[in-house]
Amino acid sequence: MAFTTTMLSWSIIDFGRNMGGGELGNAVRAVKWGTDYLLKATAHDGVVYVQVGDPLSDHNCWERPEDMDTLRTAYKIDANHPGSDVAGETAAALAAASIVFRSRDPSYSRLLLNRAIKAPGAYSNSLRYAVCPFYCDVNGYQDELLWGAAWLHKASRRREYREYIVRNEVVLRAGDTINEFGWDNKHAGINVLLSKVQYSPGGLIFKAGGSNMQHVTSLSFLLLAYSNYLSHANRAVPCGADSSASPALLKRLARRQVDYILGDNPLGMSYMVGYGPRYPQRIHHRGSSLPSLDAHPTHIACKAGSRYFLSPNPNPNLLVGAVVGGPNSSDAFPDSRPFFQESEPTTYINAPLVGLLAYFSAHP
């Protein structure tokens, strides 16, 4: 949620002027929905509530949100159970959102920034039994701390945050992980740079492991944001001694990924639910795949939902706008709920896409 909020805020900061038709207001309200929750999670000094629910029992059931009866255990980090990774991301989200609300709601903006400063060791080490294997931060916590410091510096202009980044710049030299960016790895976001990227035969950025589309939307967002920064500075990216990548080239690379997501790909399939003539029908999403309360008023128990999970029928409830994990490295897409890496939608896939769609709709 924190990464989603950070990226939604960044989308508004850089591309809000391109959000027409009331969509800017919708985006701002979506950010506030996230920050209101994060403010509650950080209401006590020195404590951040970071998770609700046991992922093992939750993943063992296929239930509607209205029917959930698994344990709602709350987990927190504090001085005795440090969590630098999640604290850094939470600080980034609150700081980025404070910029969004700086002119819209100054008092709320100040509250967000003050809470961000207080928010910042690793969460998945302290609470490993409760978060792994689903939410482990396999890339460590240093990138989140730098990510948080970068947003705190941008929001507050305090020298101490810039100095922290400079002192720890060795983390920026992240080796092979530089081509990965998502909720668990910020190295590319810190550098705002793209290198050593692999592509599917159809031209989609591909990073093995997990939900690939999170890397596609996030890296494409970085390409677009960086191209704009370069344009304003009248610069290009050096690529060796004799060549460079222009801002226009970076924009074309980002646009190509967006076009692929929306249907310009070997399957002719949009990976955004509800967009275009062909899109995923059997997404890995409980609320979408189980019958609504209107259609099925009685309780659906933990294991009773399995028949809906395994059903070959399309989901009865259309989750319009959701972007799924996407095709595999060969551009094949199974459109089947059990294939969660390909068929599961997430907020952190969608959040970077907001800025991309806003920009390219204004610059077709």
Which neighbouring-strand residues pair with 51?
A: 75
Whole-number Cα distances in Å, 138 to 125, 189, 192, 261: 10, 17, 21, 27
Alpha helices in the chain (DSSP H): 2-15, 23-41, 55-59, 84-100, 106-118, 123-126, 128-131, 142-156, 159-167, 187-191, 213-233, 247-261, 286-289, 306-309, 340-343, 347-362
Residue 147 pLDDT: 84
* Share of residues in the chain with pLDDT > 90 (%): 66
184 labelled catalytic:
no
pLDDT at 194 over 80: no
pLDDT score of 196: 54
Tell which wins on pLDDT, 247 or 288: 288
Q: How confident is the model at residue 171 (pLDDT cuts 50, 70, 90)?
A: low
Of 284, 285, 331, 342, the active-site residue reads 284
Question: May I ask the CATH architecture of the domain 1-173?
Answer: Alpha/alpha barrel (1.50)
pLDDT for residue 184: 43
Q: What number is the average pLDDT over the span 304-309?
A: 97
Residue 137, pLDDT > 80, answer no
Q: Choose the catalytic residue: 63, 85, 137, 335.
A: 335
In tens, the pLDDT along 21-31 reads: 999 999 999 99
Contact 123, 77 (CB under 8 A): yes
Res 210: pLDDT: 79
Q: What is the total residue count of the chain?
A: 364
| Average pLDDT along the chain | 86
Give the residue-averaged pLDDT of 155-183.
Answer: 65
Q: Would you say domain 192-364 falls under CATH 3.30.930.10?
A: no
Instruction: For residue 23, indicate whether it is catalytic.
Output: no
Q: Would you call 335 a catalytic residue per the annotation?
A: yes
Question: So what's the pLDDT on residue 245?
Answer: 80
> How much is the average pLDDT of 30-48?
95
What residue segments make up the domains of the chain, in order of their start? 1-173, 192-364
DSSP secondary structure string, 56-122? HHHHT----GGG--S---EEEE-SSS--HHHHHHHHHHHHHHHHHTTTT-HHHHHHHHHHHHH----
| 1-173 and 192-364, same CATH topology | yes
Q: Are strands 205-206 and 198-199 parallel, antiparallel or unpaired?
A: antiparallel
pLDDT class of 126 with cuts at 50, 70, 90: very low
The verdict on pTM exceeding 0.95 is no
Residue 291 in this model has a pLDDT that exceeds 70: yes
- Between residues 320 and 54, which one has the greater pLDDT? 320
Q: Please, is 103 exposed, middle or buried when counting C-beta atoms within 10 Å of its C-beta (0-12, 13-18, 19+)?
A: exposed
Q: What integer pLDDT is reported at residue 138 of this predicted model?
A: 40
338 Cβ neighbours under 8 A, 6+ residues apart: 284, 309, 310
Q: Is the pLDDT of residue 352 over 80?
A: yes
Q: Over 80: is that where the pLDDT of 341 sits?
A: yes
Among 25-34, 158-167, 171-180, 235-244, the range scoring the smallest mean pLDDT is 171-180
